[in-house]
A and B are shown apart, each in its own frame.
Chain A
């Protein structure tokens, strides 16, 4: 079983739509959670960390459910520039490395 699983999509949504991505992780001893964004043929960049209480950054809201081992990312009022691949990332207690999901592809259309 893959340690971090995401729906690969693609998600095709019109501008202004709200879209949600989900992610599950298998290791209950996980410490830190993140969403990274990766543009085509570029390196990943941190979008936001995910905290147990949930957190928001502008149009982006991240949620963590430790009991269900589930992470989500909500994007409101989608922009064309939001088109990218969104990577769910988990760091376990026992290690220092980041574990990546395969990513969810988002295409926002005019």
Chain B
């Protein structure tokens, strides 16, 4: 079945450590996105990529990094520079010109 997969579902890390969240899609979508959601908040855009080897900063990119070496994959690294990394991270993809964005099931990151 086609879809978008995020892993792991839950992730615990110590403060000061970098951590990479995985996002893979087999929908052949060109565009991929990373969002962050905090309790009682909407989704805020971290980074997005419209095509392979290209990505753009979103509204809250500081402390995060991404790569887009393959169409199917858009990993997000949460660096130690991110001051408040504990959140629910959602990856999405969309076909260029398409209407719907499809979301992965999300990764809950807790930094202790």
Chain A residues close to B by CB (< 8 Å): 4, 8, 32, 34, 41-46, 49, 87, 96-103
Of B14-22, B62-70, B72-80, B101-109, the segment with at least 4 beta carbons within 8 Å of chain A is B101-109
Chain B residues close to A by CB (< 8 Å): 31, 33, 35, 40-45, 48, 50, 58, 88, 90, 92, 94, 96, 99-101, 103-106
Shortest Cβ distance from residue A78 to the other chain B in the assembled complex, whole angstroms:
23
A residues less than 8 Å from B48 (CB atoms): 96-97
> Is B33 a contact partner of A101 (Cβ separation < 8 A)?
no
Q: Is the interface of A mostly helix, strand, loop or mixed?
A: strand
**What are 15 sample pairs from A and B whose C-beta atoms fall under 8 A apart?**
A42-B105, A44-B43, A45-B103, A46-B99, A46-B101, A96-B50, A97-B45, A97-B58, A98-B45, A98-B101, A100-B42, A100-B44, A102-B40, A102-B41, A103-B42
Contact A100/B58 with A32-B99, A42-B105, A49-B99 known, Cβ cut-off 8 Å: no
B residues less than 8 Å from A101 (CB atoms): 42
> Is B103 a contact partner of A44 (Cβ separation < 8 A)?
yes
Shortest Cβ distance from residue B46 to the other chain A in the assembled complex, whole angstroms:
10
Shortest Cβ distance from residue A7 to the other chain B in the assembled complex, whole angstroms:
13
A residues less than 8 Å from B42 (CB atoms): 4, 87, 100-103
> Is B99 a contact partner of A100 (Cβ separation < 8 A)?
no
> Is B90 a contact partner of A43 (Cβ separation < 8 A)?
yes
Shortest Cβ distance from residue B96 to the other chain A in the assembled complex, whole angstroms:
8
Contact A8/B40 with A96-B48, A97-B58 known, Cβ cut-off 8 Å: yes
Shortest Cβ distance from residue A49 to the other chain B in the assembled complex, whole angstroms:
6
> Is A98 a contact partner of B33 (Cβ separation < 8 A)?
yes
